[in-house]
């Protein structure tokens, strides 16, 4: 009497969980295959249809009886007797090994193919998508191994939410193959509730039974997570490289020396201020962007590199189409092939405009600070020498004036001295004020000034002295007569230099002053030349523009004039230099930036 007792899921762990059969065990003697997967069939040599045959049943019974552990690794033994039986060979025959080996090989190949395939494969049976057959890769993916006989929904509850089960239903119901490429699925592979992002390219294909009815789904899947991650990494690093290029204004470029094709990075275009559409990369195209003053040497350097294939550097300027000038620095080297042939010239090009501007700013700041420091030193000097001198005298006078025994005459003399010392003190304080004022004046408005007009003003203001000394002034402002400057300073410069010449003229010779302006590149050069006493520059050269420095004692002077001239010229960003010979004359040369 046949009495169905139980349904045992026999899952052959052989060599891994790959093949499953369902066996109905009705009683110990009566075991029937109700289902057998194709792989099983091939191995066991019986199809489900003929598995009802007595030999088969006998085999199965033997198998179960003979094998102490049906789940042992050596699965081949389990089917061995059946195969021998089916092929009409007595299982006790000593020749059985001759038949056994080819089968074993075939099975082995099949398993190898299935289990070592680089794609996941499996079969999901019935409308509930029950795992019936899967290869090791799939176990590995989902991180579970007791899945045979369970539905997809049971094994992977997360698949429901992600629509996988719906897709399976669709395939099962319609028979239409579904394929997806690089689809993101989240799998709880560790079984700890944490979902791991996995990218799969897969295919669900309906499987039809002999009567053409859909009985399950074949699936094939490839885990492309690593490739995707790799690709994302590459994309990310490309994006960050671009970002770095943008941030540093550092671009890359190369010339393929075989094809003679140039490539520029996005930032290269950004530095040039052109779009990819506007300019096709080439050395010539790049040269068209260069500042005309830099073009020649830049071309020579690039040409040399293309001929000698030595590494090179270039610092130059480009002019963008909106007229903006940008500084850049480029450096490159050559890649050689194994035959020692140059194949590629590649390098970087960095926009250094901000750097250069910052450097210039810094240099200007340093110069300013140095100037301020000199001013302070000058100020200390004035305090300690020039301001102290009359104060010392005042102290001296007041000390004597305290003497009650002084005669009226002495007292008056002392008071006169005191008064003159105090007025000397006042003069110095006024001088200091005018010196310090120079630093502030520079913020005043500059204007267009005509040298000829300044000269006329100055000569008018000192007409008396000019007449007295019978001075002759020859001026030539034909090259350049105007300058953008501060009128008061220009007046002071003309005034001091002219009156100095008159003051220090030779007693036996009428003073003659030649004033000339020259335009040279971006400079305006102004010269004052006289035929007067001159100064011995060998011994006094370093002091000529010093404060309260005097070189002649026969006439009144404070030693302030040339100091003021120099201070004012420097405040205007100019330079003054002097040539002189004793008893021949003096020539002052003043340079202004035009």
Shortest spacing between CB 296 and another protein, in angstroms: 52
Residue with tokens 């001026």: 475
Question: 435 vs 86, 125, 384, 458, CA distance in Å?
Answer: 124, 103, 16, 20
Q: Is 549 in the site for another protein (CB under 8 A)?
A: yes
* CB 492, CB 565: distance < 8 Å: yes
- CB closer to another protein, 200 vs 387: 387
Closest to another protein by CB, 343 or 383: 383
User: Of 258, 395, 429, 593, which lies in the binding site for another protein, with binding defined by CB under 8 A?
Assistant: 395
Binding mask 559-578 vs another protein (x if CB under 8 A, - otherwise)? x-------------------
Minimum CB separation of residue 563 from another protein in Å reads 13
Interface region with another protein, contact rule CB under 8 A, candidates 50-58, 105-113, 366-374, 395-403 = 395-403
3-state secondary structure of 209: coil
**Residue 346 near another protein by CB under 8 A:** no
- Orientation of helix 561-571 relative to helix 408-441, angle to 10°: 20
Task: Tell me, by CB under 8 A, how many residues bind another protein.
Answer: 26
Q: Per CB under 8 A, does 373 bind another protein?
A: no
- Between 63 and 421, name the residue whose CB sits nearer to another protein: 421
Nearest to 4 by CA among 22, 17, 19: 22
CA distance 583 to 566: 23
Q: What DSSP assignment string belongs to 38-52?
A: HHHHHHHS--TTGGG
Of residues 139 through 178, those in contact with another protein by CB under 8 A are none
Regarding 309 and contact with another protein (CB under 8 A), the answer is: no
Q: Quote the DSSP letter at residue 542.
A: G
**Euclidean distance between CA atoms 261 and 160, whole angstroms:** 53
- Stretch of 37-45, 152-160, 460-468, 550-558 lying at the interface with another protein (CB under 8 A): 550-558
Could you tell me the smallest distance in angstroms from the CB atom of residue 545 to another protein?
A: 15
Tokens in use for 338?
């194994």
Minimum CB separation of residue 364 from another protein in Å reads 29
Nearest to another protein of 110, 548 (CB atom): 548
d(CA 544, CA 39): 111
User: Which residues inside 396-415 make contact with another protein, applying CB under 8 A?
Assistant: 396-397, 399-400
Show the tokens assigned to 482: 């105007």
User: Cis peptide leading into 15, omega within 30 of 0?
Assistant: yes
Out of 203, 214, 551, 571, name the contact with another protein by CB under 8 A: 551
Closest CA to 449 of 439, 438, 458, 440: 458
Which of the ranges 124-132, 275-283, 456-464, 545-553 carries the binding residues for another protein, by CB under 8 A? Answer: 545-553
Q: Where does residue 292 fall: left (phi above 0), alpha (psi -120 to 50 degrees), or beta otherwise?
A: alpha
Distances (CA, A) of 381 to 216, 377, 517: 105, 6, 35
Taking alpha carbons only, the member of 533, 493, 537, 491 closest to residue 511 is 533
By CB under 8 A, residue 384 contacts another protein? yes
Which of 4, 388, 411, 430 is in the footprint of another protein by CB under 8 A? 388
Please, what is the minimum distance in Å from the beta carbon of residue 530 to another protein? 20
Q: Least CB distance from residue 386 to another protein, whole Å?
A: 8
Please, which residue, 195 or 551, has the CB nearer to another protein? 551
Question: Which residue ranges make up the site for another protein (CB under 8 A)?
Answer: 380-381, 383-386, 388-389, 391-393, 395-397, 399-400, 417, 420-421, 548-553, 559
């Amino acid at each position: 009497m046949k009495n169905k007792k139980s349904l045992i899921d026999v899952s052959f762990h052989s060599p891994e969980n790959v093949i499953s059969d369902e066996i109905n065990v009705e009683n110990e003697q009566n075991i029937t295959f109700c289902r057998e997967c194709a792989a099983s069939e091939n191995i066991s040599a019986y199809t489900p249809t003929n598995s009802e045959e007595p030999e088969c049943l006998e085999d199965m019974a033997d198998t179960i009886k003979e094998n102490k552990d049906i789940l042992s690794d050596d699965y081949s033994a389990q089917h061995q007797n059946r195969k021998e039986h089916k092929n009409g060979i007595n299982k006790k025959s000593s020749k059985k090994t001759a038949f056994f080996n080819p089968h074993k090989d075939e099975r082995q190949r099949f398993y190898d193919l299935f289990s070592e395939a680089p794609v996941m494969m499996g079969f999901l049976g019935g409308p509930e998508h029950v795992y019936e057959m899967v290869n090791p890769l799939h176990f590995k993916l989902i991180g579970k191994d007791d899945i045979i006989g369970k539905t997809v929904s049971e094994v992977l509850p997360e698949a429901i939410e992600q629509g996988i089960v719906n897709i399976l239903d669709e395939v099962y119901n319609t028979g239409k193959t579904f394929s997806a490429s690089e689809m993101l699925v989240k799998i709880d592979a560790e079984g700890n509730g944490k979902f791991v992002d996995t990218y799969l390219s897969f295919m669900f294909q309906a499987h039809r039974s002999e009567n053409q009815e859909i009985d399950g789904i074949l699936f094939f899947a490839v885990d492309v997570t690593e490739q995707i991650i790799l690709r994302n990494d590459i994309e990310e690093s490309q994006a960050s490289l671009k970002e770095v290029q943008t941030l540093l204004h550092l671009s890359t470029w190369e010339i393929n020396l075989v094809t003679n094709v140039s490539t520029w990075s996005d930032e290269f275009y950004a530095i040039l201020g052109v779009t990819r559409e506007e300019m096709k990369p080439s050395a010539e195209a790049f040269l068209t962007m260069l500042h005309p003053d830099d073009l020649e040497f830049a071309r020579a350097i690039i040409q040399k590199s293309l001929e000698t294939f030595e590494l090179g550097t270039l610092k130059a300027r480009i002019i963008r189409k909106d007229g903006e000038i940008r500084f850049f620095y480029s450096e490159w080297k050559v890649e050689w092939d194994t035959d020692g042939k140059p194949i590629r010239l590649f390098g970087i090009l960095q926009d250094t405009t901000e750097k250069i501007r910052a450097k210039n700013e810094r240099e200007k700041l340093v110069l300013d600070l140095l100037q301020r420091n000199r001013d302070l030193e000058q100020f200390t000097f004035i305090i300690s020498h020039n301001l102290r001198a009359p104060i010392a005298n005042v102290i001296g006078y007041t000390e004597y004036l305290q003497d009650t025994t002084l005669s009226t005459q002495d007292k008056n003399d002392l008071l006169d001295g005191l008064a003159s010392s105090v007025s000397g003190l006042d003069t110095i304080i006024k001088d200091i004020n005018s010196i310090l004022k120079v630093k502030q004046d520079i913020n005043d408005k500059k204007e267009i000034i005509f040298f000829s007009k300044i000269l006329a003003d100055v000569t008018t203001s000192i007409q008396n002295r000019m007449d007295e000394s019978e001075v002759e002034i020859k001026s030539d402002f034909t090259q350049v007569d105007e300058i953008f400057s501060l009128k008061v300073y220009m007046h002071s410069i003309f005034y001091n230099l002219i009156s100095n010449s008159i003051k220090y003229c030779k007693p036996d010779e009428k003073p003659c002053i030649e004033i000339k302006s020259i335009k040279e590149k971006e400079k305006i050069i102004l010269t004052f030349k006289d035929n007067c006493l001159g100064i011995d520059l060998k011994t006094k050269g370093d002091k000529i523009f010093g404060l309260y420095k005097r070189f002649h004692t026969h006439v009144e002077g404070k030693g302030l004039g040339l100091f003021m001239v120099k201070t004012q010229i420097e405040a205007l960003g100019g330079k003054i230099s002097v040539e002189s010979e004793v008893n021949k004359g003096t020539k002052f040369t003043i340079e202004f930036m035009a």
